[in-house]
Amino acid sequence: MDAELRTQRGMRYGAWYVAEYRIRQMSKWLGAIITVSFGNPIIYLLAIGVGVGSLVDANTGGAGINGVSYITFLAPALLATAAIQAAMDETSFPTLEGFVWDKSFFGMNSTQLTAVQIVDGIMIAAFLRAFLTAGAYLIVLWAFGAVTLESMPMLFLVASFAGLSFGALMLAATSFVKEDDGFFAIVARFIVAPMFLFSGTFYPLEQMPTFLQWIGWISPLWHSTNFARSVSFGLEVPGWLMIIHVAFLTISLVAGMVIARKQFESRLLK
């Protein structure tokens, strides 16, 4: 009876068991995670928001960018970036670990856990990581006066959604990796870095050269950042563009999940 009950629980709550496993793994690095979650925004805000921001504000006659101070303009982008990075960390290396380094996914799949439950469990843990990182970032941003208390709940949701969307894409991409052959270095240099630099993070996307603006349009970071700026300081965003922002992030999430599930099922059957 106990064995049957455990089987039923595994079939019903399998994704949560996988998420619990990932959270326990994360807890080993809790100190580092907390330090990075609070340290990164402080460093960025002091170096860029306050340092560079003072120069920008001084040279725009106090008008800042989009009618607000530079630190206020920058804050939503840093928030979205942090959530995306957190979700990426939780869906990249752990996925390669489960398939290649310690092959823990094969052990999980030999029990009642299915490939779909493993994918869902990883995404639950990634969402929690992005959620907590966004929360820490928001506390620091609020302390610096970069965001208002009223805007924080919605900013929290937008950033977490951005992390989940990019995390799903990263999970799908990593599920195809069969060897540790520099894949993550390539992603960091040719996807993450350009996305961070050319997604309207430090200045409005429309001020970039036309031939570079397409990077923003295919970037989860720009869509989430522009959405977050409309929430944070009332950036005027047309209704049709807001729909595109939400649709892009939703499609990224769904597509990533569908591809990851199919690829996990394929690899775990071999």
Q: Band of the pLDDT at 8, cuts 50, 70, 90? A: low
Rounded to whole angstroms, the Cα distance separating 43 from 57 reads 19
∠ CA 12-13-19, nearest 5°, is 155
Residue carrying the six token digits 């805000």: 45
Cβ atoms of 81 and 63 within 8 Å: the answer is no
pLDDT score, position 179: 86
pLDDT score, position 4: 56
Phi, psi of 65 (to 5 degrees): -120, 130
Other Cβ atoms within 10 Å of 236 Cβ, number: 9
> DSSP secondary structure string, 43-59?
HHIIIIIIIIHHHHHHH
Rounded to whole angstroms, the Cα distance separating 56 from 70 reads 7
Mean pLDDT of the chain: 90
| pLDDT tens-digit series, residues 99-127 | 999 999 999 999 889 999 999 999 999 99
Please give the model's pTM, rounded to 2 decimal places: 0.91
Please name which of 263, 90, 80, 52 lies closest in space to residue 178, comparing C-alpha atoms: 263
Cβ atoms of 81 and 43 within 8 Å: the answer is no
| pLDDT tens-digit series, residues 56-91 | 777 776 667 888 988 899 999 999 999 999 999 999
Q: What ranges do the domains of the chain cover? A: 2-269
Q: Band of the pLDDT at 35, cuts 50, 70, 90? A: confident
Mean pLDDT of 192-217: 92
pLDDT score, position 55: 78
Chain-centroid distance of CA 245 in Å reads 15
pLDDT at 168 over 80: yes
Q: Helices 239-269 and 152-174 meet at what angle, rounded to 10?
A: 40
- Amino acid occupying residue 137: Y
pLDDT at 6 over 60: no
Rounded to whole angstroms, the Cα distance separating 225 from 241 reads 13
Mean pLDDT of 156-183: 94
Mean pLDDT of 221-243: 96
- Amino acid occupying residue 213: Q
Please name which of 111, 66, 95 lies closest in space to residue 226, comparing C-alpha atoms: 66
Q: Band of the pLDDT at 134, cuts 50, 70, 90? A: very high
Please name which of 52, 37, 18 lies closest in space to residue 124, comparing C-alpha atoms: 18
Residues 6+ apart with CB under 8 A from 258: none
Other Cβ atoms within 10 Å of 50 Cβ, number: 14
Please name which of 228, 238, 15 lies closest in space to residue 113, comparing C-alpha atoms: 15
Q: Band of the pLDDT at 1, cuts 50, 70, 90? A: very low
pLDDT score, position 203: 87
Rounded to whole angstroms, the Cα distance separating 24 from 125 reads 10
